[in-house]
Amino acid sequence: MKIQKLSEDTRKNLLEDLLKRSPNSYGQYEASVAEILNTVKEKKDEALFAYTKKFDGADISVENILVTEAEIEEAYRLVDEDLLRVVRKALKNIEEYHAKQKQYSWFDSKPNGTMLGQKVTPLQRVGVYVPGGKAVYPSSVLMNIMPAKVAGVDEIIMTTPPGKDGKINPTTLVAAKEAGATAVYKVGGAQAIGALAYGTESIPKVDKIVGPGNIYVALAKKAVYGHVSIDSIAGPSEILVVADETANPRFVAADLLSQAEHDELASAILVTTSEELAQKVSEEVDKFTAELSRKEIIQKSLDNYGYILIADTMEEVIETANEIASEHLEIMTANPYDTMTKIRNAGAIFIGEYSSEPLGDYFAGPNHILPTNGTAKFFSPLSVDDFVKKSSIISYSREALEEVHKDIEQFAAAEQLTAHANSIKVRFE
């Protein structure tokens, strides 16, 4: 891995490089995505079946688009029992963590008869998109579905592209069932997003669409935003390790590689005050890479978006970490909790040398669907919050309104909204 001295220039270049990976810079696909969405909106199921034939090579019809109980039972027979045991252990942790995120309706009343509050209501129906292809990520299925289940969503609808044989990967199906999906439909790509956003004869319209996908899926989600809600648009994976001279270079190297292996756009960055650590991590990275099965992806990812940066002070390290706002941030310093208090922007923060990033991907409980590409400055991990919405509650008694009615009428008059003023006035004629 390349080692660089941290300077204003390296930081600026690095940020520019990383932002190039933004899912917002793929305008050239927008037209085809818009066409797919419009066709699905208009022709509904017919369009879904045609696109699934075209893009996935599968024959899907109204007869088999919905996964049956028999297919789920078959999937259970095909999935390794030991993996199922691990999935269930992970799910327990995920459920326990998300349960703590639950927000409750509240109200506040005063003796003059005012009651103000906030009512929390689960969304009624949500769509979870799960990518197809060779890579199968059951962990992602769990992480998308469980927060919706904990929130109390009535219907959790999953869509995922079928293989050429019209089947869904059994591990994906079992994960969906275990996590609590209420229906699974065999459709993928922008057409699946269109179906969830507008509804078809087979697939009901949802209130919100979540889940990662390729560039077509990301652009389709962005296009239907407003018509339905969406989660934040996922970009390539990232890890940033903040370390001082106390860090174990083998651990740091292994953790950087765990993200670099995702894809060629993934980014792995170490920012440290220790030149010695930088050197050793670079060596360990080379050693590990040679042995890992995904070495080609890793090498490209490291060449493009892998950095080891040496800073003069821990303040500079922190400042850089906050500027980059990494999806995953690991802290391996002498006082990691102290360092954590200074971190402003990160999707998930892993504290200390035994909190390796994959622990969060699979097992610990917090969601692994995290803001990428600098969006941790304003977006949050996927959570129970994403599957509820709030209504304000306002209740005034006659007495309470009478106390303030002249003030409200005056405010309305200042905005020249006389019908607003009238609706208060009429109550005290």
CB of 67 vs a copy of itself, minimal distance in Å = 21
- Annotated ligand binding at 415? The verdict is yes
Identified catalytic residue from 178, 238, 284, 327? 327
**Inter-residue contact 6 to 321 (CB < 8 Å):** no
- Annotated ligand binding at 81? The verdict is no
The stretch among 4-12, 49-57, 103-111, 186-194 that binds a copy of itself (CB under 8 A) is 103-111
For 116, residues 6+ apart whose C-beta sits below 8 A from its C-beta are 107, 108, 109, 392, 393, 394, 395
- Annotated ligand binding at 80? The verdict is no
Span 265-284, contacts to a copy of itself by CB under 8 A: none
Q: Does 98 participate in catalysis according to the annotation?
A: no
For residue 201, the Cα-to-chain-centroid distance in whole angstroms is: 29
392 near a copy of itself (CB under 8 A): yes
**Inter-residue contact 340 to 323 (CB < 8 Å):** no
Q: Could you tell me the maximum CA-CA distance found in the chain, to the nearest angstrom? A: 85
In the sheet where 125-129 sits, what is the strand order? 183-186, 155-160, 125-129, 208-210, 229-230
110 near a copy of itself (CB under 8 A): no
385 near a copy of itself (CB under 8 A): yes
182 near a copy of itself (CB under 8 A): no
- Annotated ligand binding at 103? The verdict is no
In the set 157, 260, 310, 311, which binds a copy of itself (CB under 8 A)?
A: 260
- Annotated ligand binding at 98? The verdict is no
For 111, residues 6+ apart whose C-beta sits below 8 A from its C-beta are none
Cβ proximity to a copy of itself, 123 vs 220, nearer residue: 123
Span 291-330, contacts to a copy of itself by CB under 8 A: 292-294, 298
In the set 183, 299, 340, 342, which binds a copy of itself (CB under 8 A)?
A: 340
Q: What is the CA radius of gyration of the chain?
A: 25
Draw the binding track, 131-150, toward a copy of itself (x: CB under 8 A; -: no contact): ----xxxxx-----------
415 near a copy of itself (CB under 8 A): yes
Binding-site size for a copy of itself (CB under 8 A) equals 123
Span 12-71, contacts to a copy of itself by CB under 8 A: 22-24
Cβ proximity to a copy of itself, 53 vs 89, nearer residue: 89
- Annotated ligand binding at 56? The verdict is no
Going by C-alpha positions, the residue among 208, 200, 75, 104 that lies closest to residue 148 is 208
348 near a copy of itself (CB under 8 A): yes
Residues of 24-38 as b/e, b for ≥16 C-beta within 10 angstroms?
eeeeeeeeebeebbe
**Inter-residue contact 257 to 292 (CB < 8 Å):** yes
Count how many Cα atoms sit within 13 Å of the Cα of residue 172 in the half-sphere of its side chain.
24
Span 200-219, contacts to a copy of itself by CB under 8 A: 207-208
In the set 202, 272, 339, 375, which binds a copy of itself (CB under 8 A)?
A: 375
- Annotated ligand binding at 178? The verdict is no
Cβ proximity to a copy of itself, 187 vs 285, nearer residue: 285
Strand pairing of 229-230 and 155-160? unpaired
What are the CA-CA distances from residue 264 to residues 12, 294, 317 (Å)? 21, 11, 25
In the set 8, 111, 164, 426, which binds a copy of itself (CB under 8 A)?
A: 426
103 near a copy of itself (CB under 8 A): yes
- Annotated ligand binding at 361? The verdict is yes
The stretch among 42-50, 68-76, 302-310, 351-359 that binds a copy of itself (CB under 8 A) is 351-359
Identified catalytic residue from 98, 178, 328, 409? 328
Residue 32's SS3 state is helix
116 near a copy of itself (CB under 8 A): yes
Q: Please count the other Cβ atoms lying within 10 Å of the Cβ belonging to residue 413.
A: 12
The residue behind tokens 């994906």 is 172
Q: Does 283 participate in catalysis according to the annotation?
A: no
Q: Where are the strands (E) in 28-139, listed by range?
A: 106-110, 114-122, 125-129
The residue behind tokens 């969060």 is 360
80 near a copy of itself (CB under 8 A): yes
Residues of 161-197 as b/e, b for ≥16 C-beta within 10 angstroms?
bbeeebbbbbbbbbbbbbbbbbbbbbbbbbbbbbbbb
168 near a copy of itself (CB under 8 A): no
CB of 323 vs a copy of itself, minimal distance in Å = 11
Q: Please report, in range form, the residues annotated as the binding site for Zn(2+).
A: 259, 262, 361, 420
Residues designated as active site: 327-328
